[in-house]
Amino acid sequence: MAGGDATPTGSDLDGDGDAEYVFRLVLQLSPRDPDVRIEPESVEVTMFERAAPPGEEGWLFFRDNLWRGEVNDHENLRHLAEEALGTEVHSIEFRELRTDETYLEALKDEVDENLELFRADDVAEVITKYLGSRVHVRER
């Protein structure tokens, strides 16, 4: 979704500097056969997308797509999710950045070196501005 090379990783991180964005999606199901109907017509799923390593292509995903822990452009992110999944996405909601301490420290260091990209005075402001309180650090 973020850069084409990101793939869902499941809900477990390996603890080696990894992170993933977690989203709640409602998928719209539409049978192709007009004689078939389904119930329910939509299902709720959780999507996990690997976060790009800090400083590498796609690492600014949180800046470009989130604001205070919420999706900032639902249509755009919904469309990106549809492309990644190959199915209609009715809605998308950001849940958290699930990370380990190694990744989070690397992210903070990269943000600190690039504060001008965020129009912020410090790293804490950047994290709050874009991710809100939705950073969840997992231990090994």
Residue 1: predicted pLDDT: 76
CB atoms within 10 A of CB 14: 9
Kindly state the percentage of the chain with pLDDT values over 70.
Answer: 89
Provide the pLDDT for residue 13.
53
Phi-psi region of 52 (alpha: psi -120 to 50; beta: other; left: phi over 0): beta
Measuring CA to CA, how many Å separate 60 from each of 39, 45, 137? 39, 25, 19
Q: Which residues, 6 or more positions from 50, have their beta carbon under 8 angstroms from its beta carbon? A: 6, 7, 8, 9, 18, 19, 20
pTM for the complete prediction?
0.85
pLDDT tens-digit profile of 59-96?
999 999 999 999 999 999 999 999 999 999 999 999 99
Question: Does a cis peptide bond (omega within 30 degrees of 0) precede residue 54?
Answer: no
Quick one: tokens of 121? 């005075």
Low-confidence ranges of the chain (pLDDT < 70): 2-16, 140
